[in-house]
């Protein structure tokens, strides 16, 4: 049985087919992101959910629906199959007793970016790439740096100077060529583009959606949610949205599962959650536009969603439209308060981006968009430990002879 049922790449906008057996970036026809396509009929004939249940838990249990041809090229640190946790106490507080959290903070490198890095790095190595380059808001660069080191690939990472400090330390520890820019991820992206263009093909651009396989790793979040729920889907999935790869990937995964006949019924309503200080997708959604416009002066403490103009904006907006979803903003004050409340009620120290999704769940329940009996899944995309500055500590310092009362 084939390890992968990958057939080709397809432009997400114009539908043009591209060769999947050499390194590819954007569609040569229209410059849009490429999507991996599979022989789903062959998968359906040779694999069932019962077969999956006998495999080791983890991302690579879905290898027929992933792009790596040869098992020998799999680069792994043990990613995947993160818990889907009931949030009963917090859910009761906000009027959503069936609220669940998909906790990506427990994955290698401490964020869901490990999924995209595992698959993207594995496929890049399989196709003969030797040096990677990417702009990042922090966690993706850290993940690709560490997985690149695991695969023996060189990497150049450029991130804003105010990105989370821990992520830059992860890059340095891995021996990555790290550069900090006094600007936004869009500025870092320009610099990476110039490096790649001047390299004569020696450097491969792994920017968000500029290579087609990061999304394949991210889509496994959607497959896992369906499997963990007994091959059904929740009513709503809330996703903190910067570049939006995870939201696009979850939507892609659920479409593939439906075509395989493993799930049925209406799709979960997808929610793109953004910060009030950087909300190009929300603005486009509310205006009924098919693409976003650059968000000037982007700024939020939820650094991972501080993306002024996502390359895959049209795919995000399509996913929202096709699932009768929505897009919503929350303030930094709201998400920081939610971070504390989730930790106090559930013992889960979520990242600021995950906290934004919890704040959105509260807001959407209050407005009635999510009903009290509906099942909703919040994506916590990383560990709160990677953002220690979000929780100030003002505890009293006691002398050694002090007593507590």
C-beta of residue 277 within 8 angstroms of C-beta of residue 296: no
C-beta of residue 134 within 8 angstroms of C-beta of residue 179: no
How far is residue 117's CA from residue 136's CA, in Å, rounded to a whole number?
Answer: 12
Coil/strand/helix, residue 182: coil
Residues paired with residue 326 on neighbouring β-strands, in sequence order: 271
**Two structure tokens written together for 221:** 């979040």
**Mode of pairing for the β-strands spanning 34-38 and 6-11:** antiparallel
**Two structure tokens written together for 37:** 């396509």
CATH class belonging to 84-109+213-386: alpha beta
Phi, psi of 272 (to 5 degrees): -90, 115
Coil/strand/helix, residue 244: coil
C-beta of residue 298 within 8 angstroms of C-beta of residue 277: yes
pTM over cut 0.75: yes
Residues 6+ apart with CB under 8 A from 238: 271, 273, 357, 360, 361, 364, 376, 377, 378, 379
First to last CA, the chain: 67
CA-wise closest residue to 239 among 171, 305, 194: 305
HSE-CB of 140 using CA atoms within 13 angstroms? 30
Q: Residue-wise pLDDT tens for the chain (405 aa)?
A: 699 999 999 999 999 999 999 999 999 999 999 999 999 999 999 999 999 999 999 999 999 999 999 999 999 999 999 999 999 999 999 999 999 999 999 999 999 999 999 999 999 999 999 999 999 999 999 999 999 999 999 999 999 999 999 999 999 999 999 999 999 999 999 999 999 999 999 999 999 999 999 999 999 999 999 999 999 999 999 999 999 999 999 999 999 999 999 999 999 999 999 999 999 999 999 999 999 999 999 999 999 999 999 999 999 999 999 999 999 999 999 999 999 999 999 999 999 999 999 999 999 999 999 999 999 999 999 999 999 999 999 999 999 999 999
Alpha helices in 156-244 (DSSP H): 165-173, 185-197, 214-228
How far is residue 31's CA from residue 258's CA, in Å, rounded to a whole number?
Answer: 29
Sign (positive or negative) of CA dihedral 79, 85, 91, 97? positive
How far is residue 277's CA from residue 330's CA, in Å, rounded to a whole number?
Answer: 9
**Two structure tokens written together for 228:** 């963990």
Alpha helices in 48-179 (DSSP H): 49-53, 88-94, 113-126, 139-151, 165-173
Domain ranges in the chain?
A: 84-109+213-386
Question: Residue 214: is it exposed, middle or buried by C-beta count within 10 angstroms (0-12/13-18/19+)?
Answer: buried
């Amino acid at each position: 049985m084939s390890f992968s049922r990958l057939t080709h790449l397809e432009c997400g906008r114009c539908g043009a087919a591209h060769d999947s057996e050499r390194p590819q970036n954007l569609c040569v026809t229209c410059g849009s992101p490429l999507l991996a396509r599979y022989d789903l009929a062959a998968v359906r004939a040779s694999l069932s959910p019962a077969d999956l249940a006998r495999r080791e838990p983890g991302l690579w249990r879905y290898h027929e629906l992933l792009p790596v041809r040869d098992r020998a090229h799999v680069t792994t640190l043990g990613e995947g199959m993160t818990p889907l946790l009931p949030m009963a106490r917090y859910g009761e507080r906000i009027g959503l007793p069936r609220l669940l959290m998909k906790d990506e903070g427990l994955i290698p490198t401490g964020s869901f970016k490990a999924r995209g890095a595992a698959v993207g790095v594995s496929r890049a190595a399989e196709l003969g790439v030797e040096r990677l380059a990417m702009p990042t808001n922090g966690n993706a660069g850290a993940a690709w740096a560490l997985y690149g080191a695991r695969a023996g690939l060189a990497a150049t990472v450029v991130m804003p100077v105010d990105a989370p400090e821990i992520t830059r330390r992860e890059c340095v520890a891995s021996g990555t060529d790290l550069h900090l820019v006094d600007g936004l991820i869009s500025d870092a992206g320009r610099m990476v583009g110039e490096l790649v263009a001047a390299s004569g093909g020696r450097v491969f651009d792994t920017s968000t959606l500029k290579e087609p396989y990061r999304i394949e790793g991210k889509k496994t979040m959607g497959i896992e949610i369906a499997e963990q729920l007994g091959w059904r889907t929740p009513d709503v999935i809330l996703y903190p949205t910067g570049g939006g790869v995870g939201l696009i990937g979850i939507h892609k995964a659920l479409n593939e599962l439906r075509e395989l006949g493993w799930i049925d019924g209406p799709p979960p309503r997808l929610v793109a959650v953004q910060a009030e200080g950087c909300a190009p997708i929300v603005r486009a959604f509310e205006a009924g536009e098919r693409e976003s416009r650059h968000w000037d002066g982007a700024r939020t403490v939820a650094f991972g969603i501080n993306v002024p103009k996502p390359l895959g904006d049209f795919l995000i907006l399509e996913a929202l439209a096709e699932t009768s979803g929505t897009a919503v903003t929350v303030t930094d004050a709201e998400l920081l308060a939610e971070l504390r409340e989730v930790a106090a009620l559930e013992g889960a120290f979520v990242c600021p981006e995950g906290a934004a999704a919890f704040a959105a769940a509260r807001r959407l329940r209050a407005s009635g968009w999510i009903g009290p009996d509906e099942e909703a899944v919040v994506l916590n995309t990383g560990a709160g430990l990677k953002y220690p500055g979000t929780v100030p500590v003002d505890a009293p310092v006691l002398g050694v002879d002090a007593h507590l009362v």
